[in-house]
Homo-oligomer: A and B are copies of this chain.
């Protein structure tokens, strides 16, 4: 005999598909749903369906939006574009309330080992934005790993000749951490990117 009756087993299975969720955690989540009032469970299910139905990609920057173009593209200054890998990177940067420009979501990075070339991500669209725009600076905010670095280099090579400044987020020792405990790669990078005082 199965330990769970079918509807519970099914829900546990669905929760197990979420990132980092094992069998035990999925069970806890399922019990929570069972304990919810019907209306609350319905709201939960509706939120899942709503996200799939309503969330589209902004046709300009590729970020999540409910409209044709996203709220950021519609309202913010267009002279600085921050290039990121995924929409979640936009959310991370927006949280800072620091950056006042617009974004360009690549939806991936150049990664030959996985068969992802420059034409498989939204680099062509970035170029088009720059060519018919008043863009002054492109900040490349891809992750500091091999494919993030390669993508940043590729974009810089492509865009610099157009007279647009290309910058990249600084890498180095995280604020609040200690040199002793900083990993080798980060520490080496901090030396390379050292600044004049």
Contact = CB atoms under 8 A, between A and B. Distances in A.
Copies per complex of this chain:
2
A88 B17 CA distance: 21
A51 B11 contact: yes
Taking residues whose C-beta sits less than 8 angstroms from the other chain, chain A's interface range is 35 or more
Interface in A77-135: 87-88, 91, 94-95
Given A10-B50, A45-B49, 10 more contacts: A1-B72, A3-B91, A5-B55, A5-B66, A7-B53, A7-B66, A8-B51, A11-B47, A17-B44, A34-B55
Contacts of A50: 7, 10-11
7 contacts: A6-B66, A11-B48, A14-B44, A14-B47, A20-B25, A31-B88, A33-B48
Interface of A: 1, 3-8, 10-11, 13-14, 17-20, 25, 27-34, 36, 38, 40-55, 64-66, 70-72, 75, 87-88, 91, 94-95
A46 B52 CA distance: 14
A79 to B, nearest CB: 19
